[in-house]
Amino acid sequence: MQNDEEVTKQRPVKPEAVVINLPQSENLLADAPATSLADKPNIQNIVVSSIDQTKRIQFASIALLVSMFFQWGYQYWLNWTISLVSSRDGEGWDDGYHNALWEYLVHGEFAWEGGIGFVEILNFFFRFQIWGDVADLVGPVFALFIMRDLMPFVFIGTIAFSWMNRDKGDDFFRKVALFYGGYFAIMAVQLVYINIELNGSYYWEFNVLFDCFGFWVAGFAGLLLDPKLIRIPETIGSHKDTFTPHLNGPELSQNSHGIIHAPQQEIEPAKVALFYFPVVYFLIVVNSVMEGGEDDALFLGIMLPIVGFVVGIGLYGLEFLKGFGLHLLFSIGYGLIGYFLVIIGFFGDLDDGPPISFIVMISLILTIRYHLKNKHHRAIGAMYAIPLTIWIILFGILIGWFQVDGF
């Protein structure tokens, strides 16, 4: 009985033999199988390739955007094309049978003076009506004419196509760069030939590089898409978060089961394009009105950004307003800098007007910077301050101009 009582008393006591001692219980994840990119070379190669290619598309997009603020030299292609039939008896654009082409050449300044890339895109909607007359006059050469007319849209479409397929491999982007570069090469060879042909003409003689600078920058943008052709240093454009953070986050994390997770925070390009459209449309309409165009679209051009501004506040709230407000503060500094540049004579003679292209490029800096830092909501807010930024810079430049030259 005594032995039974002793056994009963000892029964609740846990024997030392089964006591579990976990000296490393403070860090349970330490015993989990570690999974690193080095253990998975295929994943490492895919992620690194995607990050590099995303960076390339970013720089190609910026280069193409910059090219839109410089001359593309469309007038030289047009003049060369219509001059092919000028020596024929009783034929030519002024023979009385090609009225659409005649109207465009006589009443359109762009046909003789050209314009920056944005203006060329806008003017396209006025000049596609001359295609029939040009085709009738020049025959097979019309194929080159159409290629030049559609060139800005082909380049923009190729960059957009690259963004939509940014997760593809290097072989895919070599083909994309080959298409872009081949298209550009055809136009570049034709431009050099046109320059040689028109070199003896006093009126149409031009510098093939500087008078078509935007065209060459646009071609360089396509070369950036090739993974091997142009090396981009790793230190350039390296941020913890880029335009596609799910490919270029600060690091890949892992859980206790060894599963790799990447941050999922991708922006929707379609939504960004919808927000950009009102501001771009406003700038195009204002530029058209300032050059004597129709002002019927001005009301719509003003209302669309207002609607976009209200929608942006509703969707993105404080981040949107931060971008908008900070850009306005920067604009005051830009205006002061513009004022002092005029005072010291940096802009020279302003009788022909202020440097609009330069001002627009300056006003885009903060928006692009926010996008590259993955602050897209703030970038959209800063973008809606661009029209006010342009006017503030213009105001500073005009004050300096009046102070130097008087009223």
Q: Where are the domains of the chain?
A: 44-249, 269-405
Query: Tell me, what DSSP letter sits at residue 225?
Result: T
* pLDDT value of position 228: 81
What percent of the chain is predicted at pLDDT more than 90?
9
* Amino acid letter for position 242: T
Residues 380, 280: Cα–Cα separation, whole Å:
12
Q: Is the pLDDT of residue 107 over 60?
A: yes
Higher pLDDT, 86 or 135: 135
* pLDDT value of position 44: 46
Q: Is the pLDDT of residue 316 over 60?
A: yes
- Count of helix runs (H) and strand runs (E) in the chain: 16, 2
Residues 118, 168: Cα–Cα separation, whole Å:
30
Which range (136-145, 187-196, 380-389) has the least confidence?
A: 136-145
Structure-derived torsion over alpha carbons of residues 119, 284, 277, 307, reported in degrees to the nearest 10? 180
Which range (25-39, 127-141, 181-195, 290-304) has the least confidence?
A: 25-39
Q: Is the pLDDT of residue 21 over 80?
A: no
- The pTM for the full model equals 0.55
Residues 230, 194: Cα–Cα separation, whole Å:
29
* pLDDT value of position 85: 64
Q: Is the pLDDT of residue 239 over 60?
A: no
Q: Is the pLDDT of residue 37 over 50?
A: no
Q: Is the pLDDT of residue 178 over 70?
A: yes
- pLDDT mean over 5-19: 50
Q: Is the pLDDT of residue 257 over 70?
A: no
* Amino acid letter for position 261: H
Residues 58, 74: Cα–Cα separation, whole Å:
26
* pLDDT value of position 203: 64
Per-position b or e across 248-281, b if 16+ CB within 10 A of its CB? bbeeeebeeeeeeeeeeeebeeeebeebeebbeb
Cα torsion 44, 48, 54, 56: sign: negative
Q: Is the pLDDT of residue 3 over 90?
A: no
Q: Is the pLDDT of residue 99 over 60?
A: yes
Residues 62, 56: Cα–Cα separation, whole Å:
10
* Amino acid letter for position 334: Y
CA distances from 56 to 45, 143, 223, 235, 356 (A): 16, 31, 10, 13, 28
* pLDDT value of position 191: 92
Q: Is the pLDDT of residue 236 over 60?
A: no
Predicted confidence band of residue 218 (pLDDT cuts 50, 70, 90): very high
- pLDDT mean over 256-264: 42
Q: Is the pLDDT of residue 217 over 80?
A: yes
**Cα–Cα–Cα angle for 332, 333, 336, rounded to 5 degrees:** 90
Q: Is 385 helix (H, G, I), strand (E, B) or coil?
A: coil
Cα torsion 155, 161, 162, 168: sign: negative
Q: Which two tokens stand for residue 31?
A: 């015993």
Average of per-residue pLDDT values in the chain = 74
Q: Of 65, 360, 362, give the one whose Cα is nearest residue 218.
A: 65
Which range (124-128, 184-188, 264-268) has the least confidence?
A: 264-268
Predicted confidence band of residue 254 (pLDDT cuts 50, 70, 90): very low
Residues 219, 239: Cα–Cα separation, whole Å:
26
* pLDDT value of position 308: 84
Predicted confidence band of residue 163 (pLDDT cuts 50, 70, 90): confident
Higher pLDDT, 13 or 358: 358
Predicted confidence band of residue 297 (pLDDT cuts 50, 70, 90): low
- Tallying the residues shown for the chain, one arrives at 407
Q: Is 345 helix (H, G, I), strand (E, B) or coil?
A: coil
Q: Is the pLDDT of residue 194 over 70?
A: yes
